[in-house]
């Protein structure tokens, strides 16, 4: 006896073994059954179909004794309070006993798997052949039925499975399908199917004869027939007959020089297309497939530029800095000149929005003389968008990868996969796992798109990915990527980019020119932008130039006065003056780069409660507990009858991470000691229970932000000394960086 399964009652709907159905459930009890199925390990239900529609709580005696075990493949909640489920029938079973949950009203049952009788092999083979023969005849008369049914039948060896498949697509009424579902003996089902198939073929033939007679008398039918005949004659006169089309397809196939297996497969498709009626739906499906496959660039490649000098010049003309990326591309070109079969690196450009990831990929393609394809995967949750859908589906097409290959007409382009960190995994598939095969050089040489169905060589493609954050990328995918970090731009770098790139582009677009000094650019950057890249800077400069030229056509240059006049959405950055104790600055790292934030601490009489506000994450809350424990144990701080309130400013922004530990400790110590901390001082570092200050990430971005925010002194973990040494002097010139290994060093400096 099997474990109890939840029972799903489907009125007027039959599911058979080997059949997959999609159904929308609005009955609350049915929804409960599906939910109950997810609680068992197998994720299955037992589907029954009573002869008469049953109310929500039927008598157990009225329920059938034969049902089908079905797998709940997926379930989706729809906006109209319906639940859409996909069920896959697995096996027919005998039901022993029903049980009803008194609380939920959900039925469950015990069942036994049906032991099928054995048949004479000769008899079974004869029946099988007869069923196949009749099915072929029926399909030939009904163009709406797919030939794929025959393939399914040929793949099945069991007479029970074959009868169920045939029954599922025949246009039987509910009573007839119920009979076949409840008939346990497959031989009995087969014998009845032979009779029913003969009857269906006879009825179909009669229907066809009637349709032909009706078409002779129906004016619209006559008109369509005449037009089709005329079209045939016109095509014949123009030499556009199907024979000539077939010859063209075969000539195209011969010219592709494909491997024997692929060649034979496509030749069979051409032959199939020749035998199809030109007005049948299958004919257009085959033709679309052949047009797609035969026009793929199976062997076509562009000649890659390996001249390092030209590559450097091209990259330098379009992008400022990015030395690591430029050097890597030049290295690749150098070795490619020596080895034409060199595998392209799979590069992931990591950086904040606006630092030039997408435009860099385009410039790389242009410098190497390769075609460029951009595929955006942000929010992508369906793997078929990358690898295509099967031809059997309505509206089937190749995936984004093969579509891009077809568009550029070569097999060695640069393909940019944008925002790879924002892909989503759900019931539709896992795009990240699909990318593993696409990017892996050991696998993509024989990449198979679901629509194309034949292996295509992607090893010549240069893949470049972009991401703002590595945390959401699976480790298996990350392992295949060569990460190149694109740092946030400092003010001096933004000035250079604006002078040498942005302003030139704007002048070219607007067909004008006006002088903008370095001082004005610096003022605009520091007072009107707050971004890691230069995307917003370009928009602001373009707006300012338009305003000045339109409103002051005689102006020779743009001044700070112009900026204050026309840039109304001013966003001046400043540090609020600290007027009380219990306040400290926090240097944090986000996907957008470094960020300066603040923490405030207050205390009042209470019972020792800790209140945290300001959208703090779990790690940040843990840091607060660590700080309190450390200070109490090491500095004789008495907080027994005190409630503490920690508030992180900018409550609308989610904050988390351990690097705020030192800032929290300083704010609390400032409150206890009643000593204010200057607003020009900032902290970063994780605090341990022993008072050790542990290293943190994103230090360059944090210090860069501090420099632009007016911070003059930063306390940094001593273990980050190497990162500090490698930060440009342009950033650290006006900042005192104090390396500390224990909190007591900060205590001696600020609170003694």
In this structure, the number of other CB atoms found within 10 A of the CB of residue 110 comes to 17
What's the Cα-to-Cα distance from 375 to each of 183, 352, 414, rounded to whole Å? 52, 19, 11
Q: How far apart are CA 52 and CA 178, in angstroms?
A: 11
Separation CA 523–CA 491 (nearest Å): 10
DSSP assignment of 544-570: HHHHHHHH-TT--EE-HHHHHHH--S-
Q: What is 463-482 written as a DSSP string?
A: EEEEES-STTS-HHHHTT-E
Q: Give 482's strand partners.
A: 347
Comparing CA positions, the residue from 157, 158, 168, 160 lying closest to residue 135 is 168
Count Cα atoms within 13 angstroms, Cβ side, for 160.
19
H or E stretch at 236: helix 219-237
**Distance (Å, rounded) from C-alpha 563 to C-alpha 549?**
13
What 3-state class would DSSP assign to 736?
Answer: strand
Q: Check: CB of residue 101 under 8 Å from CB of residue 109.
A: no
- Where helices occur in 276-351 by DSSP H, the ranges are 281-294, 308-318, 323-338
CA atoms within 13 A on the CB side of 221: 8
In whole angstroms, give the CA distance from residue 627 to residue 685. Answer: 12
Cα(448)–Cα(456) distance, rounded to whole angstroms?
Answer: 6
CA-wise closest residue to 622 among 583, 651, 661: 661
Phi first, then psi: give them for residue 169, nearest 5 degrees: -100, -10
Q: How far apart are CA 17 and CA 68, in angstroms?
A: 7
Q: How many alpha carbons fall within 13 Å on the CB side of residue 643?
A: 8
Q: Within 10 Å of residue 17's Cβ, how many Cβ atoms? A: 22
Distance CA 106, CA 31 (A): 10
What is the distance between the terminal CA atoms of the chain, rounded to a whole angstrom?
77
The token pair that represents 605 in the structure block: 């009489």
Which 3 state secondary structure label does DSSP give 612? strand
Q: Which residues are catalytic?
A: 659, 702
Strands 66-77, 44-48: pairing is antiparallel
């Amino acid at each position: 006896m099997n474990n109890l399964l939840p029972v799903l009652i489907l009125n007027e709907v039959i599911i058979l073994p080997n059949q997959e159905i999609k159904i929308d459930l609005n009955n609350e009890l049915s929804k409960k059954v599906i939910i109950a199925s997810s609680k068992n390990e197998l994720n299955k239900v037992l589907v029954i179909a009573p002869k008469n529609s049953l109310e929500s709580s039927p008598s157990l005696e009225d329920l059938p004794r034969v049902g089908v075990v079905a797998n709940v493949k997926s379930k989706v909640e729809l906006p109209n309070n319906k639940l859409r489920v996909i069920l896959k029938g697995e096996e027919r079973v005998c039901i022993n006993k029903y049980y009803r949950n008194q609380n939920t009203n959900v039925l469950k049952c015990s069942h036994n798997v049906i032991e099928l009788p054995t048949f004479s092999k000769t008899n079974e083979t004869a029946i099988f052949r007869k069923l196949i023969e009749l099915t072929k005849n029926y399909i030939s008369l009904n163009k709406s039925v797919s030939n794929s049914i025959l393939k399914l039948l040929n793949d099945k060896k069991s007479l029970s499975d074959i009868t169920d498949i045939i029954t599922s697509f025949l246009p039987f009424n509910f009573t007839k399908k119920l009979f076949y579902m409840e008939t346990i003996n497959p031989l009995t089902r087969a014998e009845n199917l032979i009779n029913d198939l003969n009857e269906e073929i006879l009825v179909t033939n009669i229907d066809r004869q009637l349709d032909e007679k009706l078409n002779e008398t129906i004016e619209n039918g006559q008109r369509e027939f005449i037009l089709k005949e005329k079209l045939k004659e016109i095509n014949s006169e123009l030499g556009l007959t199907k024979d000539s089309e077939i010859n063209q397809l075969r000539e195209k196939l011969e010219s592709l020089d494909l491997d024997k297996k692929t060649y034979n497969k496509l030749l069979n498709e051409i032959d199939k297309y020749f035998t199809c009626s030109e007005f049948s739906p299958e004919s257009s499906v085959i033709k679309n497939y052949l047009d797609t496959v035969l026009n793929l660039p199976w062997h076509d490649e562009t000649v890659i530029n390996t001249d390092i000098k030209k590559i450097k010049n091209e990259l330098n003309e379009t992008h400022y800095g990015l030395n690591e990326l430029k050097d890597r591309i030049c290295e690749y070109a150098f070795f490619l000149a020596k080895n034409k079969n060199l595998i392209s690196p799979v590069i992931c450009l990591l950086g904040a929005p606006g630092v030039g990831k997408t435009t860099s990929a385009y410039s790389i393609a242009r410098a190497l003389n390769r075609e460029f394809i951009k595929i955006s995967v942000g929010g992508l949750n369906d793997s078929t968008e990358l690898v295509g859908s099967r031809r059997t589906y309505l509206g089937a097409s190749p995936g984004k990868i093969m579509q891009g290959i077809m568009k550029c007409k070569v097999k060695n382009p640069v393909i940019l996969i944008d925002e790879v960190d924002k892909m989503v995994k759900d019931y539709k598939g896992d795009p990240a796992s699909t990318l593993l095969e696409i990017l892996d050089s050991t696998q993509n040489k024989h990449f198979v798109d679901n629509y194309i169905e034949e292996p295509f060589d992607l090893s010549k493609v240069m893949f470049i990915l972009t991401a703002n954050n590595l945390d959401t990328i699976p480790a298996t995918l990350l392992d295949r990527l060569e990460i190149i970090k694109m740092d946030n731009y400092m003010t001096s770098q933004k000035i250079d980019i604006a002078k040498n790139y942005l302003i030139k582009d704007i002048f070219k677009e607007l067909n004008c020119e006006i002088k903008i000094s370095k001082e004005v650019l610096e003022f605009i950057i520091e007072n009107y932008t707050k971004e890691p890249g230069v995307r917003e800077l370009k928009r602001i400069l373009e707006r300012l130039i338009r305003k000045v030229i339109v409103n002051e056509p005689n102006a020779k240059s743009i001044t700070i006065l112009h900026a204050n006049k026309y840039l109304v959405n001013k966003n001046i950055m400043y540090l609020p003056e600290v007027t009380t104790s219990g306040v400290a600055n926090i240097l944090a790292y986000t996907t957008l780069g470094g960020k300066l934030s603040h923490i405030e601490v207050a205390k009042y009489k209470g019972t020792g409660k800790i209140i945290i506000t300001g959208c703090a994450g779990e790690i940040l809350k843990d840091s607060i507990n660590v700080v309190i424990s450390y200070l109490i144990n090491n500095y004789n701080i008495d907080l027994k009858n005190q409630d503490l309130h920690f508030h992180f400013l900018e409550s609308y922004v989610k904050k988390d991470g351990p690097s705020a530990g030192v800032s929290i400790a300083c704010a609390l110590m400032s409150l206890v000691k009643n000593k204010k901390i200057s607003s020009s001082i900032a902290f970063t570092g994780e605090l341990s229970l022993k008072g050790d200050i542990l290293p943190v990430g994103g230090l360059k971005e944090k210090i860069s932000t501090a420099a632009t925010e007016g911070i003059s002194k930063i306390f940094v973990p001593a273990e980050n000394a190497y990162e500090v040494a490698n930060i440009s002097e342009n950033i650290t010139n006006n900042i005192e960086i104090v390396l500390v290994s224990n909190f007591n060093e900060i205590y001696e400096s600020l609170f003694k």
